[in-house]
Amino acid sequence: MNPSDPELRQIGQTDLWVTPVAMGCWPITGITSLGVDEESSLATLAAALDAGINFFDTAYCYGYSGESERMIARALGAHRQQVIIATKGGIHYEQGKQVRDASPATLLRECEESLLRLQTDYVDLLYLHAPDPQVPVAESASALRQLLDSGKARSIGASNFTLQQLGEFAQVCPLSAYQPHYNMLQREIEGEQLPWCLEHHVSVICYWPLMKGLLAGHLPRDHVFEARDGRQKYPMFHGVEWHKTQDFLDVLRPIAAEVGKTVAQLVINWTIQHPGITAALCGAKRPTQIQDNAGGMNWNLNAEQLSRINAAIAARGQTVSRGAV
């Protein structure tokens, strides 16, 4: 990694520099994604690196027994010094259901387990995956501060936080990154969290830039979801919201063709060009997907194209929001 590379972006005020497109490593576990197998997942991780991505995002709970972290170790272990690995603690599975536990003892234990799975002595960025309503934010932050001070985490982040929770966390532990959902049609953070992060030099590393694949433009208007497809639980994949987004994609397609990019690449580029967004986490389970996503960086939409896209966004309107956890 060369910080002088104009395409790399700094995480907070750290010495960590990342590509603006990162690989989100939830889909490779296959828990809610269909058609996933280990061979393809490992190949996708390798393809991301080959495509120029140096930033990989996982979590303790990505997989029922840490499959995502284990695959990252297998695929990228030989390149540890060339990649930035982020993981998260505070959520785990019990009998197939996610459970939040952000108590200090649990966060310390999960970090140790994540390091073993990743086969590394440190993680570059460690997030509190989500606030635990049973544990004060300051108590969770104190555990992550301990991991930062010990060198087991090079930087600390928080995910799925309110503005108040960000402030409470930062009073106890230096905060380098914030991870919310954010995309063209889900922009709530622009009201409070994004301005706060800009003011406090906290990187915003967003998930769902493609709205769980919907904004990639590959799902036809008459698409029928398989029973196991986890996207069906989100309102954006049904009824009026679904058809409004399909109409919106019809507006984006000619703009993408004009710049010689796919719809997914156009959407990703719009996201990472937005002020305050350091990187976008793009999930993938096949090499072709992450290769397409990587094509969203290293170029820029011009002012006229951005204006047309923003007009289309305004005409479409925001959609019903619901985070990943």
Q: Environment class of residue 49 by beta-carbon count within 10 Å: exposed (0-12), middle (13-18) or buried (19+)?
A: middle
Residues ≥6 apart with Cβ < 8 Å to 186: 208, 211, 318, 319, 321
Tens of pLDDT, residue by residue over 239-298, are 999 999 999 999 999 999 999 999 999 999 999 999 999 999 999 999 999 999 999 999
d(CA 71, CA 75): 6
Active-site residue flag, 60: no
The architecture that CATH gives domain 9-217+263-301 is: Alpha-Beta Barrel (3.20)
Q: Which position has the token pair 């309107």?
A: 317
Tens digit of each residue's pLDDT (9 = 90 or more) over 50-103: 999 999 999 999 999 999 999 999 999 999 999 999 999 999 999 889 999 999
Instruction: pLDDT band for 320, please (50, 70, 90 cuts).
Output: low
Helix (H, G, I), strand (E, B) or coil at 88: strand
pLDDT at 2 over 60: no
Distance CA 83, CA 81 (A): 6
Q: Where are the alpha helices (H) located in the chain, listed in sequence order?
A: 38-50, 67-76, 104-118, 137-150, 163-170, 193-199, 239-259, 263-273, 287-294, 303-316
Give the residue, 7 or 259, on which the prediction is more confident: 259
- Among residues 60, 62, 127, 178, the one annotated as catalytic is 62
Reported as a pLDDT band with limits 50, 70 and 90, residue 5 is confident
What would the pLDDT profile of 119-167 be if each residue is shown by its tens digit?
999 999 999 999 999 999 999 999 999 999 999 999 999 999 999 999 9
SS3 85: strand
